[in-house]
Amino acid sequence: MSLRPRRLLPGFGLTLGYTLFCLSVVVILPMAVLLWKAGVYPTDQLWAAVSNARALASYRLTLGCAFAAAVLNTIFGTLVAWCLVRYPFPGRRFIDALVDLPFALPTAISGIALTAVYAPTGWVGQYLEMVGIRAAFTPIGITIALMFVGLPFVVRSVQPAVADLDPAVEEAAAILGASRWQTLSRVLAPQLVPAALTGFTMAFARGLGEYGSVIFIAGNMPMKTEITSLLIITRLEQFDYAGATAIGCVMLLGSFVLIFGVNGLQAWWLKRQGAA
């Protein structure tokens, strides 16, 4: 008789081995190669590549636009998820499927389509131009493109959380005398925040690295509308592998710190909820 506790599902060794193997080959290996490549070049060359004015401007732009897009997506994506789960209406399944479209569409196609719509001569762009807003070839255009690619992350994260909400809880809150606002802020929101945070993180992270959908609408002006991914491509185009690798590492570390931070925030939130 073994003293080890019995596991409900057999094959832990096999599945863990498979998990580690997959993660190593698919995720860790390319990252390790990137860092290893960076180690080959002299440090001052790497530092010069990541710390010049153009690179700094591109980080500000990329972070700013990805953050703005992720915040807007978190608000509207949560609304979309709520609407899709809670209200039956004709065509709901169709709209539900539509949400995934940005996942499936090649990003270059969405980029070209968005530019066509928001360019000063485009369907929407010409009206924006009338009220003095230029969308395409400015940070606004970049944010729009990032909202497009990021929306499904939020909707798909929040949807199951909304589905898990028991309407009886809301009824109970109402019976106990909570106003609509109190129900929303004290009863519903706390249960949705972790899922919304997950969606936010994924949309944000995706926005940081996005290239295809942004490149056509961005305008690519140095110091103004040049995203970090373009800077990497620019370096590669000059066969400057050191510079490209260095900026790539900055993106990698930045994204990692970000995801780690939000995961920590989420854990803290859940703990607080449990304690309350």
Binding site for another protein (CB under 8 A): 53-54, 100, 103-104, 106, 112, 115-116, 119-122, 136-137, 152-153, 156-157, 159-160, 198-199, 202, 215-216, 219-223, 230, 233-234, 236-240, 243
Nearest distance in Å: CB 174, another protein: 29
Nearest distance in Å: CB 253, another protein: 22
Nearest CB to another protein, comparing residues 117 and 174: 117
Nearest distance in Å: CB 121, another protein: 5
Calculated CA dihedral for residues 235, 237, 241, 244, nearest 10 degrees: 30
Q: Are 35 and 249 in contact (CB under 8 A)?
A: yes
Please give the radius of gyration of the chain, using alpha carbons only, rounded to the nearest integer: 23
Nearest distance in Å: CB 78, another protein: 14
Nearest CB to another protein, comparing residues 54 and 271: 54
Nearest CB to another protein, comparing residues 149 and 173: 149
Nearest CB to another protein, comparing residues 141 and 183: 141
Q: How far apart are CA 12 and CA 78, in angstroms?
A: 36
Nearest distance in Å: CB 137, another protein: 5
